[in-house]
Structure 1
Amino acid sequence: MKKNKSRLGFKPFVIIFILLIGLIIALQIFGASRFETILASEGEVIDGFWAKSLIIRDEKVVTAPVTGTVTLDCSEGERIPAGTKVCVIESGEIAKKMYNRQAGLISYAVDGLESSLNSSQLNQIDLKKFADYQGNYKHLLSGRKIAAGEPLYRMINNFDLYLIIPARPVQAERFRNNELIFIQENDSTEMLKARVIKVENQLEQSYIFVELDSFIPRWLNIRRVNLNIIKNIYRGIKIPRQAVFNQPAGQGVLKVTGYNKYEFEKVVILEGNEKEVIVKGIGIGEEIIINPADFNYGREG
């Protein structure tokens, strides 16, 4: 009987000990689960914004001199010299051969905005109608009938290409005339060079005029393109902006120092955008908490 009593007295102690250890482990796991961390690493931060930009070209539309059935002689977007036969219009027993007068790219598609949105009249474009400038290209096909005076083909100068970029005033005021910038399309890693010509600041909407360094043939028959307008590309140790906060000791981050342990580390933001920053004060590979808002670490109110 004494042996049984000893066993009965031992069990509550074991149970309490196990529960205590379990509670400690649970608290550790729960506390650690609050951490969202990354390892500080070298990277790039792109300082830019996305905008549906308006394409402006140096182009001229040639109309049909007679009514008839047209046969096209060039490929869409082909670069041709002056004096090339571009089409034939058969009108009754007459076959009117058409030759281009200037070298460039030829297109048999028009949207009707070629004269009002032309690089030769860049300063006269009515920005109040910016939202109305929507390209709706109509393509002429070989074998179609065309009436005299209707658009026949379009010649494009492949050395001139401009964009008008809509921007919020706070974005536009950061750009200066003659500034070199980069632009990037959706799903593309290619960086296109452009230069700021002028910035038109208005009350609620501003516009940045830029000239591209090169012509983009794939934009031949479109009037608008969604682009990332890149002012700068910064390189260095990159972390999320939300990881940085202020407290009485200064600006810094929470650095993980052990299991469920962290300490405040001062940093200096060198450059950045709304989501990411380049900082000085931490090293590559250091583990940083990116949700410091969940921790009441003596920060300023």
Structure 2
Amino acid sequence: MSVKNNYKKRRRITKEEKDLIKEQKNIIDQSAKLTKVLVTFILFIIFLSFVVNLFIHSTSRTVLTRQGQLIKAIEGEGLFIRNEKITIAPISGKLEIKVQEGQRVSANTLIANIKNNQTRHKLYTYNSGVVSYHIDGLESSLTIDNLKRLNYDRYKKLRYKVNQVNDGEKLNNGRPIFKIVENYLLYLIMPLSKNKSYLFEAGTEVRFELLEKEIQKKFSAKVDHIIESKPKDLLVLRVESFPPLFLNLRKTDVKLIRSSYNGITVPISALVKKGSKTGVMVIQDDKHSFKEIKVVSKGEEKAIVKGVGLGIQILEKPKQKMEG
């Protein structure tokens, strides 16, 4: 009798256990579903953050503000004009050079002799200056005194050919031998289109470089005047020094620098407008904010600015573009 009762009791306990196990299983299943949903949500947030960051970095790259220089320059052909006096051979004969090219002499200095069988003719200077044996044929027609008669059409028609003599050479009567150059007056002429010549006015100080010469040097000049012409004007510059390089130079390619600035540079594309203020979008702690700046000078690709430090991270191409 007692054995039967114990068996029934075990049967009741087993059923309760089954109910408990079933209930626990349901709880585990619900927790698993909830965990799955939570993990899926977290993964979605991570993926969304990645996509947003990828979009931001692909559409709004960042750059650092840099120290740099902005040069505003115009490149073109230049023509040098000097006061030059030529001496020609009065007789035929053999040349004897007494003074080397580039040497400065005073008036009445013996420069050369011409010898033939009968006589020796001595050649003296009539004025002081620098000796040159480099004759191009424009010395008499292209002078500082008749500069005002030059226009763009006459400029384009200028032609020259270098004629240089050497010591011991046999010369014919009438051949140019040497010239004396006044080395305190030198002018540079540059043809400029109308939309560029207006940028200059008399008295403006500029600098220029010689593009065809392997000389990393800038020369100073001042705008003397502008010859109005068609289709281009002629910019007349008075060069403030006369180094030996300019003694025989006539036409050459020139880079005319009208202004240069040093300072903090940013890309033009980084400039934005906020109302009447100009600024850049500064990045800090993955956030960007508007920083007002002052634009000192603008070029085609970059600008010199004040109001932001060196090495600051900014948006290169913010969505809010600069007006105008």
On whether the aligned pair clears a TM of 0.5, the verdict is yes
What TM-score does the superposition give when structure 1 sets the normalisation length? Answer: 0.80
CA contact (8 A) 1:56 1:162 kept: yes
Residues 1:185 and 2:206 are matched in the alignment = no
- Of residues 267, 270, 280 in structure 2, which corresponds to 1:243? 270
Secondary structure of the residue aligned to 1:197 is strand
My pick for the range that moved more, 245-254 or 87-96, is: 245-254
Residues 1:82 and 2:107 are matched in the alignment = yes
My pick for the range that moved more, 245-254 or 177-186, is: 245-254
What is the CA deviation profile of residues 148-183 of structure 1, one whole-angstrom value per residue up to 9, with x for unaligned ones?
A: 111111110011100111222222112111222222
What is the CA deviation profile of residues 56-115 of structure 1, one whole-angstrom value per residue up to 9, with x for unaligned ones?
A: 001111111011221222222222222322112122232212122222111111111111
Quote the Cα distance in structure 2 between the aligned partners of 1:164 and 1:71: 36
% of aligned pairs identical? Answer: 27
Kindly report which structure 2 residues correspond to 1:99-178, keeping only aligned pairs within 5 A, or say none: 99-178=124-203
Quote the Cα distance in structure 2 between the aligned partners of 1:42 and 1:127: 41
Change (3 A) 1:36 1:59: farther
Quote the Cα distance in structure 2 between the aligned partners of 1:222 and 1:36: 49
Give the aligned residue type for 2:167: S
What is the CA deviation profile of residues 135-158 of structure 1, one whole-angstrom value per residue up to 9, with x for unaligned ones?
A: 432211122222111111111001
Structure 1 portions without partners, runs of 5+: 1-13
Quote the Cα distance in structure 1 between the aligned partners of 2:62 and 2:74: 27
My pick for the range that moved more, 50-59 or 173-182, is: 173-182
Structure 2 portions without partners, runs of 5+: 1-38
Give the aligned residue type for 1:151: P
Change (3 A) 1:130 1:245: farther
- Of residues 305, 308, 312 in structure 2, which corresponds to 1:279? 305
Quote the Cα distance in structure 2 between the aligned partners of 1:130 and 1:110: 19
Residue 197 (structure 1) aligns with: 224
Residue 270 (structure 1) aligns with: 296
Secondary structure of the residue aligned to 1:129 is helix
Indicate the structure with greater helix content.
Answer: 2
Residue 57 (structure 1) aligns with: 82
Quote the Cα distance in structure 1 between the aligned partners of 2:244 and 2:147: 20
What TM-score does the superposition give when structure 2 sets the normalisation length? Answer: 0.75
The CA RMSD over aligned residues, in Å, is 3.3
* Matched residue count: 288
Rg bigger for which structure?
2
Give the aligned residue type for 2:266: I
CA contact (8 A) 1:135 1:222 kept: no
My pick for the range that moved more, 272-281 or 120-129, is: 272-281
What is the CA deviation profile of residues 21-59 of structure 1, one whole-angstrom value per residue up to 9, with x for unaligned ones?
A: 799668756753666554324443223322221100011
My pick for the range that moved more, 17-26 or 55-64, is: 17-26
CA contact (8 A) 2:151 2:234 kept: no
Residues 1:216 and 2:259 are matched in the alignment = no
Secondary structure of the residue aligned to 2:146 is helix
CA contact (8 A) 2:272 2:320 kept: no
